[in-house]
Structure 1
C-alpha cells in the first residue's frame, strides 16, 4: 500500500490529516497537532484496519480508549508509575476467544500513545515516558454483555470488568495492579533502584493460563476491595478491606432475621389471629435487633460467606494461608481447628479494626500510625485474604 492509498483511507475520517507510509511505519500529521504521529508496523498488520481503528477509537481522558469489543486502560503498581513495560521480555501471547471476555497485559499500544499525544499537553519527556506504561486490553465486552459503546453506562461497565479481572490477578497470583489515570499536569516520579516491576510483572504473566473472565463478582464488594488495593499500607488500608465485609452486614443480618421469623410463623403453635402470638414474634425480633452489634454481624458474615457449607478439611485446606497468618505471624491461634471458632476470628478482626479507627481524647487521631508496622502488615494481609474469600463465596450463595 502506497501513501496515496493511505491518504484515501485517512480522508474518510479526517480530511485535515495527511499520511505517509514506509516499510515499517505510518506517519500522520495535521496543522492542529504539535507533532507528527508515528505508528510502527509489522508484516502481519492489516494497514487499512490499523488506520481506521485509530480514528474510530474513543478517548477516555488520561485513562484509556475503546471501540466496539476493545477496551484499553493504563495500569500502575503501588510502587512506581512509569516502569511497567514488556520491552525486552518474552511474554507469550495469550489465547483469544470468541465466546468469552478475555484480556492481555502488555505495553501501551501505539494507538493509545498517540491519542494521548494529540489530546494532552504534556511535555516531550513525559510523553516519551508513556512508552514504559503497561495497559490491560480487554476484548468482547460488548458482545458478551450485550451493551453498546454508546450506552451511557458503558464506561462504568468497562471499568467494573477490568476490576473483576484485576481482582483475579490479585487473588490468584498476588499481582496487585490498578487502573491509573494520568495526572492533569506533568509530575516527577521517583525511580526505585531496588525494585524491578518489569521483571516481576513479566515473570507472573508467563504463569497465567486462563486470560478470560470466568465470573462477574459483586460490583460493590469489588469496588471496596479495589479501593483498598490502591492504598499504601496503613491502618486506613486495613479498614478499607474491612469494608468489604461491613458492606453486607445489614444484608446478612436481615437474612438471619427473616429465617428466624419463618421458623416462628411456620411452627405448629403460631397463629396470625392470636395477638399474643404476634406480640411474641415482635419481641423476638426486637430482642434480636438489640443484641446484633457489628461484632455479631461480622460473625454472621463469616458464617455465611467465609465458612459456608464446606466440610472441615476442605475449609482448612482452602484457608491454609489465613491459618498461617493467624498461627505463625499474629500468634492469635495455636492450631488450625480454631479457625472454626468464627466468634474468635470475628473478634480478632473486629478488635483490630477498632484499634485502627477509634479516635477520642484517650485515643486521639494521629496523622501517623504509632503501632507496630510489622503487626499492621500482617493484619492487612489477613483482612485482605478474608475479604477475597468473602467476594469469591458471595456469588455462590
Structure 2
C-alpha cells in the first residue's frame, strides 16, 4: 500500500469534501425525512462510477465497492440527519430551513464518507476485499435508522464495521479511542402521578400530585448516589415536570419525564427498577396513584477489543502528528450500536473544537460549529481503515 500516494489524494479531494459539507449544512433535513439529502448522496456516488448502489430504506443509501484482491468486507458508516434547532451561527452557509440545523456534525460525517468513496473508487486496483459505505438516516431519533438497516439485511456478509464522530468538545488534533463501551445507553422514563384536584385553599381535601411529584423528583435524584455503585456510571436526569394551569387550583395529575444514561445492562436494569420503586413508594405515601413507563433507547456502543487494537495501531502509525488518547466513555447515545451488536465494530472520536477559531459550543447548540480541518482527519481515517482492515483475509492474515 502506497500510503504517501493515498495521502496526496486526500489533500486533493479535501476541497470537494468541504464544498459538500457546506451544501448539506445549508440544506438540513430531520430524521426519517432525509429525502433530498439521500438523493444528493446517491447522485454523487453515481458520478464516481464503479459502485453498486442501493436504497435499503427510503432515506438511506448503500454503496458497495469490490476490490481487485480477496479480503475482508469492511463497512464504513456515516449518519445524515439534522436536528430541530434554529441555527444562530451566522455562517455564510447557515441553514436555509427554518428550525432545522446540522448541530451535531452529520453534514461533515456524510461528506467525509463521500470523499472516501471517491478516493477508494479511484484506487480500486489496490483494494482488497470489499468496502460497504453506509449512509444512514435518522441517528437522532429513536428507534433510529441503524436498527432499520440491520433489519433490511445491510450487515449480512460484513466482517467489521467502523464509524467516527467529529467532536467539538475535543480539541482539534486529538483522536479518542477505547475498547469496551464508548457511548452509553439512552433511555427515557415517563411518570404520571394521579391525585385528586381541588381548591388551593383546601389542600386537605385533595390528594396533591404536585407535592408527591416534587418528592418523586427528589427521590429520583438520589438513585445514582445511593443505589449505583461508585465505580459504575449512570445518570438519571429529570427534564420535564408538567402540572396545573391556574394559581388557585390543585391539579388532578402531574407528568414527570427524563433521561437515563448507563454503560452496562446490569446498571440499566437496576436504575429502571429503582425509578419504578421510588415513584410508586412516594405516590403511595401521599395517597396518589402512579403510572411509570420506561422506554429503552439505543444500547451502548461497545468497541470490539481485537478490532480496536487494529484501529489503535493504524492511528499510532499513520496519525503521528495527532494526539491519540484512550478516552473515557461518552454518556451520549449513538445508534451505531445496532451495527456493532451484530458485527465487530469500532467507533472513534475525532477532535473538531478550536478555541482560537471560536469553535467552542457543544453539540445540539444553535451556535454549534466544527473546525473543518478535522474533516481531513476523518477522511484520511476512513480511507486508511478501509485499505488496512480489508487487506487481512478471512480466516487468517
Pairwise same-fold verdict (TM > 0.5): no
Name the TM-score, length of structure 2 as normaliser.
0.26
Who wins on radius of gyration, i.e. which is larger? Answer: 1
The structure carrying a bigger strand percent of its residues is 2
The structure carrying a bigger helix percent of its residues is 1
- The structure showing larger relative contact order (alpha-carbon pairs under 8 Å, at least 6 residues apart) is 2
